[in-house]
Structure 1
Amino acid sequence: MMTSSVVEVPLRTGAHTKRGWLSALRSPLWFCLIFALLVRIWLIFYTHGFVDMDESLVGVQAQHILRGEFPIYYYGQPYMGSLEPYLISLVFAMFGSSPLTLRIEPLLLSLVLVWLSWRFAELMARQARLSNVARTWFSTTVSLLAALPPLYNLVIEMRTWGGHIEIYILMLLLLTSGWKLVQRWEAASQREILMRWLGIGVIIGVGFWVYPLIVSAVLAAFIWIDALLFWKFLQSLGWVPLAADGRQESFAFHGKRMLLGLSVVPGVVLGFAPGIYWGALHQWANIWYLLSPGSDGGNSVHLLHRYPNRLAVINGTVGLYEKCLVPHLYGGTLPTQSLTNSSVFSFQSLELLNIGSIILVLGGLIASLIWQHSLFRVLPRLVGLPLLFAVCTIVCFCFSNVVGHSLFEPCIRDGVGRYAAPVLLALPFFLAGIVALVVEYFSKRDKRSEGSRRVPGRRLSRFAVIQCGLAAVLLMYVFFIGTTYVQSDPQYIFQSFTCNRAPYDTSKIIAYLQEHNIHYLWGTHALGDTLIFQSKGSIIVTDPRIVNAGALNRLPQDVLAVEHADRASVIDMVAHTDPMPKLVQAINVLGVKYTLIRIPSQPGNVDILILTPVSRTLTSTEAISYGAWNFHC
């Protein structure tokens, strides 16, 4: 008998594995992944691989990694760990460094994000015990909406700003891990529970190293875990009834597993190890930053004068979110939208669809508390954790001090939208949850009516009509999304929130500089960082404000190189209609001889001015990019 069992098990396992592979290959997930891949490739080429100054600096850091540097954080700041530059450096090592290859890393990771969204949806749908057809609709809808997010969210995903797509993946991993821990709480062994707690700690540690933005996911995960475990404690004490399929475990059983949660601490230490090493060498500046009240001018005198107390700041932040960020996050409009020719109707329709789905979900959750219908009890299992995460993201944003200077220029300077953008991870689950409930309801109703017919299947069922209607709604959503994509001006899609006139094409500028052996220039970051990256470091540009006004110095070696260069040039941005720019006037007053070229640039109908002194070297106080400052570039 032992021999027989040994022979039979592999045969059954092999057949099961083969069926599993065939089922996986037929999964709608593949369509969503391919769709996501094609859309992002199209976006990269549609925008001609344009990257802004901050993205360029990440590319510079990746280039430096290939030359033997080992950075731990983004240049010049004690947060945003250098995970993204290390991943990009691997791409550069294989395909070379360029704006196009810079986008490969977020492109690939966005596919991971779609897969994680599908995986999370599948787990929740199975736990909610949806029918096969409803589960397929739910997970497919989540995957499709994750593959085609609103334009603003897609741009955030595809930007190489130092860790946005990475932190989104870590957030979803953390939410999935927390959800899985609760699901496996009674059935798993103590070893498994220990490893799950440890894994949660590692994700949290890596997350705080990569980007403190993970705090909203940490808050949501632990509220979810604590709330459900507290409920299990009450069940073990007999204070609340068990579910129909629940298990009765003792108070001591739950207590021991809660004590295993202490393994989160070594997990956090392990995940945050790069930050601990860096902090020990830099007076723990990264830890102090995590504990500080905010950034972006959050403690400036001007802000405190207009918003004298904490309540006033919170009120201003809530107003900023409602008035300025809601159209971006839920409709997809860009900060430069007034400069584009995108369809306003499509953006507004998307905003209404997303906000409407949230309202319906909230209504369904309230109904589940009033009516004990089996259908309503399914909804909290499908959207409960995503909704909690969305609420935590909004609360963390509104109660933080990250808004700062943006309160002075609401809806003009979108310097903080990225801090509220993680809500995009939850959006697909709301519409998908409504779709799943509709499918589940009519699926059961159709089965009952089918059983009562004498000749089943003779006519098109109501359920089939409902599915066609839901498919039409999703196609309409895809149409609106596609409209906002293709009608947006490619020159503005990836422009920085601080400078929306950065040269869309720098090839003529770089060609001129290389032809005339110009390697060192004074200029602003908006103009210079892109030239440094695209020239692979053969052209060095530094901002004179670093020397003159003590501005943030991210690349000290570059500042020294330009400061000691012989007759370094000046690069500036001026209006095409300006015959005598302020920089030229200032140099004429000094009596310095120079050569000058104006290179037409778009967007914004501006010229890139390159002035090279001939008679003597200009000091940092003389080489000022007046025009670029005027354009906030």
Structure 2
Amino acid sequence: MNGSIAKLLKRFRIGPYELCMFAVVVAATVARLVLISYNWPVTNSDEGNMGLLAMHVAYRGELPIFFYGLPYMGPLEGYIAAPLFHLLGPSLFSLRVGLLPLFALFLISMYYLTRLLYTQKFALAIVVLLSLGSNLIIQQQLKAVGEYPEMELFGALITLLACWLALSSHTFSADATAQVKRRRAIFYGLLGLVVGVAVWVDFLILPVVATAGLLLVLFCRRELRTWAGLSLVSGIIIGAFPLILYNMTAPWGQDSLTTLYNLHRAEALPAVAQHLPFLRQVIGTILISLPLETGANPSCAIATFPLFGPPAPSVLQCAVFESSWGIGFLILGMIAAFLAVRVIWPTWRKSPARDWTFEERQTTIRQCARLMLLVTAGLTIVSYMLSPVSAIIPDITSRYLICLLIAVPAVLWPLWSGNSRLMALSGWREKALLVLKVGLLVLIATTFLLGTVRTFAGVAVAEAAYNQEGALVQDLLRVGATRIYSEYWTCNRLTYRSQEQIICSALDEQLKPGFDRYLPYRSRICVSAAFSAVASRSEGVAD
């Protein structure tokens, strides 16, 4: 029996590091299963909207192309939840449990990506780190509001496949066997399929797609002119087919790009009206959004940051920690980019690529792949910084930087690499540098661990909020208030919690029709002879 297991592990190249990695993945996934079983994090109407969409898919056979009210975001999470509703019934738990495999696959993809570009030990350390996280990071992995869990997975998987195809491009030649060509064409098709689905889900993935495409163009040009290239394009078309179909049939001005452009203009209006300086966008990005989305535990309100509120003694305290995290991330990224370019440049300059040795080619591809991770992070940060939302609501919109987690190995590599060599040296400068690097790694790991501990400490509050919402639903049903008006952050979560026994339409602050993601609810209330108004209780139950 033991011999059979050993042969199986050897066949699939599963060694001690892989066994440890899978153990960490299982433990992290179970921990998140415990959280959602206690209804953490607190739900909101965006998640209720996804639940309603999943119900319509499961029980009405509807096939929506987009998340209700957002004609540019594919509702993949709703399609994942729909079959689970038939097994478990519609609930907050069954809506979220389908996200757990996405998280587990994200960790596995990050392990193999980091192992491919760096070392096994570092890959295992990255998986341990990413199995933890701040309250915000874990919340984004577990809340079914669209795009974020799958963006993590798709970003890691696209990068992994592109890097593997580039590093194994030496196996492709005119003399390659049909089996090798067929296998590589399948992987190109898989990459295209993931890219297509990811673009359908959200355009946030575009920086990842751009850098992965550049890597393939640099090192797989000849192969892209063969059936492999056709397989890649076919995969993209199949994956993005819902998006393509919609935009081919959408009325003029209602296509996805126009919708995104109009949203961007609407977001810019407050910044223009308030005459907000560009420096505030820089501060909002680096001091607030970047730390939030890369694992720092927020400790200060936005108003305490420079240009976001009046000067106060607490400004300095917040600026020191938060800016240290954000600026430190950028500095480490620049150091990592310098280390990669320092290796790439001499080889690239001295001779054409066709004259490189096998070792030079593999080293150059690996360093370019590392640089690709950093460029992806840079494009993500710059595109967010140029958006007005970084100056208006940088805490709420920090989620647009979700793809930065993919670059964590590249950013932390300067702190990890070379420590064994430094330990062997006796100079005080080397010892001081070693202490600094190890100290920063310990600080980062401790911050992620504390974020996880704080997350579990909030379970009781989330459970109380869930029970409070259930009591409100029962009260409304008892008095017959099944057609109601309220504000947005109350409506959809009540409709989903009641499984559409209560239909709610949103009103704005002037009691005029508000933001209804699913417009049929508004018309159903309008034809009803009796309706009620429910005051917001979102402070207690909404995110």
Q: TM-score range by the shorter chain?
A: 0.7 to 0.9
- Does 1:421 pair with 2:402? yes
Residues 202, 267 of structure 1: 8 Å contact kept: yes
Q: Does 1:483 align with 2:450?
A: yes
8 Å Cα contact 1:491-1:504 kept in structure 2: no
The structure 2 residue matched to 1:203, chosen from 194, 202, 215, is: 194
CA contact (8 A) 2:50 2:145 kept: yes
Does the residue aligned with 1:542 lie in a helix, a strand or coil? strand
Residue pair 1:513, 1:519 contacting (<8 A) in 2 also: yes
Q: Does 1:332 align with 2:299?
A: no
Unaligned runs of 5+ in 2: 304-316, 348-359, 426-432
Paired AA for residue 62 in structure 1:
A
Q: Residue 95 of structure 1: CA displacement?
A: 1.7
2:204 aligned partner, one-letter code: L
Q: 1:475/1:114 Cα in 2 relative to 1: closer, same or farther (>3 Å)?
A: same
Q: Flag the 1:119–1:263 CA change in 2: closer, same or farther, 3 A.
A: same
Contact 2:415 2:440 in 1 (8 A): no
CA deviation profile, 1:513-543 (whole Å, cap 9, x unmatched): 1222221111112111111111111111111
- CA 1:285–1:51 in 2, change beyond 3 Å: closer, same or farther? farther
Q: Which amino acid aligns with 1:165?
A: P
- Verify the 8 A CA contact 2:106 2:157 in the aligned structure 1: no
* Structure 1 residues not aligned, in runs of 5+: 1-11, 126-134, 230-253, 447-465, 496-500, 575-600, 605-631
- Say which of 75, 95, 98 aligns to 2:88: 95
Corresponding residue number in structure 2 for 1:56: 48
Q: TM-score, normalised by structure 1?
A: 0.67
The share of aligned pairs that are identical, in percent, is 17
2:497 to 514, 517, 534: 534
Q: Provide the C-alpha distance between the structure 2 equivalents of 1:20 and 1:370, rounded to a whole number of angstroms.
A: 38
Query: Amino acid of the residue matched to residue 325 of structure 1?
Result: S
| Structure with the higher fraction of residues in helix conformation | 2
Shift of 1:87: 0.2
Q: Identify which range, 531-540 or 296-305, moves more after superposition.
A: 296-305
Residue in structure 1 matched with residue 286 of structure 2 by the alignment: 322
Instruction: Indicate how the Cα distance of structure 1 residues 562 and 434 shifts in structure 2: closer, same or farther if over 3 A, else same.
Output: same
Q: Distance in 2 between matches of 1:558 and 1:564?
A: 10
Greater RCO between the two (CA within 8 Å, min separation 6)? 2
Q: Partner residue of 1:177?
A: 161
Q: List structure 1 segments (4+ residues) > 6 angstroms apart after TM superposition.
A: 12-15, 343-350, 369-372, 376-379, 466-473, 491-495, 501-504
Larger radius of gyration between Structure 1 and Structure 2: 1
Q: 1:284 to 1:546 in 2, by over 3 A?
A: farther
Q: Quick one: which amino acid aligns to residue 98 of structure 1?
A: S
1 CA distance for matches of 2:434 and 2:11? 26
Give the 3-state SS of the residue equivalent to 1:295 in structure 2: helix
- Structure-2 change in CA distance of 1:75 and 1:262 (3 Å): same
Q: Which amino acid in structure 1 is aligned with residue 404 of structure 2?
A: V
Matches of 2:167 and 2:288, distance apart in 1: 38
Alignment of 1:96-111 (within 5 A): 96-111=89-104
Partner amino acid, structure 2, of 1:426: A
Deviations 1:196-234 (A, max 9, x none): 4433332222122111111111111122233445xxxxx
Asked if 1:380 corresponds to 2:367, the answer is yes
How many residues align structurally?
495
CA drift at 1:563: 1.8
> 2:311 aligns to what?
none
- For normalisation by structure 2, the TM-score amounts to 0.76
Amino acid at match of 1:421: I
C-alpha distance in 2 between matches for 1:286 and 1:174: 29
Letter of the aligned partner of 2:117 in structure 1? M
1:67 match: secondary structure:
helix
Shift of 1:556: 2.2
2:138 to 154, 162, 178: 154
Distance in 1, matches of 2:376 and 2:70, equals 28
Corresponding residue for 1:595?
A: none
Q: What is the rounded CA distance, in whole Å, between the counterparts of 2:300 and 2:458 in structure 1?
A: 11
2:211–2:372 contact (8 Å) kept in structure 1 = yes
Partner of 1:114: 107
1:264 to partner: Cα distance: 3.6
Distance 2:92 2:48 in 1: 8
Which letter maps to 1:35?
Answer: A
Instruction: Name the structure 1 match of 2:206.
Output: 215
Moved more, 328-337 or 100-109: 328-337
Q: Which moved more, 1:557-566 or 1:467-476?
A: 467-476
Contact preservation (8 Å) 1:74, 1:80: yes
Deviation at residue 60 of structure 1 after TM alignment:
1.1
Contact 1:47 1:490 in 2 (8 A): no
Deviation per residue, 1:253-277 (Å, 9 max, x gap): x546445535543332211112233
Structure 2 counterpart SS, 1:283: coil
Q: Distance in 1 between matches of 2:406 and 2:219?
A: 22
Name the CA distance, whole Å, in 2 between partners of 1:167 and 1:306. Answer: 33
Q: Matches of 2:5 and 2:92 in 1, distance apart?
A: 46
Which is worse superposed, 205-214 or 263-272? 263-272
Out of 315-324 and 265-274, give the one that drifted further.
315-324
Matching residue of 1:457: none
| Alpha-carbon distance in structure 2 between the residues aligned to 1:515 and 1:13 | 61
Question: For 2:171, what is the secondary structure of its paired residue?
Answer: coil
Distance 1:19 1:480, change over 3 A: same
2:339 aligned residue = 364
In the TM superposition, residue 384 of structure 1 has moved relative to its aligned partner by 2.5
Matched, 1:17 2:1: no
Check whether the contact 1:331–1:350 (CA below 8 A) recurs between aligned residues.
no
> Do the aligned partners of residues 174 and 136 (structure 1) sit closer, same or farther apart at CA in structure 2, a change above 3 Å counting?
closer
**Which of 106, 110, 117 does residue 124 from structure 1 map onto?**
117
What's the secondary structure of 1:536's corresponding residue? Answer: coil
- Aligned 8 A contact 1:383 1:433 in 2: no
Give, in whole Å, the separation in 1 of the partners of 2:345 and 2:237: 44
2:378 to 377, 388, 391: 391
What secondary structure is seen at the aligned counterpart in 1 of 2:70? coil
**Partner residue of 2:477?**
514
Give the equivalent residue in structure 1 for 2:307: none
Q: 1:263 to 1:493 in 2, by over 3 A?
A: farther
Q: CA deviation at 1:59?
A: 0.9
User: Could you tell me which residue of structure 2 aligns to residue 569 of structure 1?
Assistant: 532
State whether structure 2 residue 216 is matched by structure 1 residue 225.
yes
Contact 1:502 1:526 in 2 (8 A): no
Q: What is aligned with 1:276? A: 244
Contact residue 88 and residue 105 of structure 1 kept, 8 A: yes
3-state SS in 1 of match to 2:535: strand
User: 1:368 Cα shift?
Assistant: 4.2
Partners of 2:121 and 2:445 lie apart in 1 by 16
Q: 1:556 to 1:602 in 2, by over 3 A?
A: closer
Q: Paired residue for 2:129, among 127, 145, 148? A: 145
SS in 2 for 1:224: helix
> How far apart are the structure 1 equivalents of 2:91 and 2:466?
16
- The answer to whether the 8 Å contact 1:491/1:603 transfers is no
Report the CA distance shift for 1:467/1:143 in structure 2 as closer, same or farther (over 3 A).
farther
Structure 2 counterpart SS, 1:97:
coil
Counterpart of 1:522 in 2: which secondary structure?
Answer: strand
Task: State the distance in 1 between where 2:496 and 2:159 align.
Answer: 36
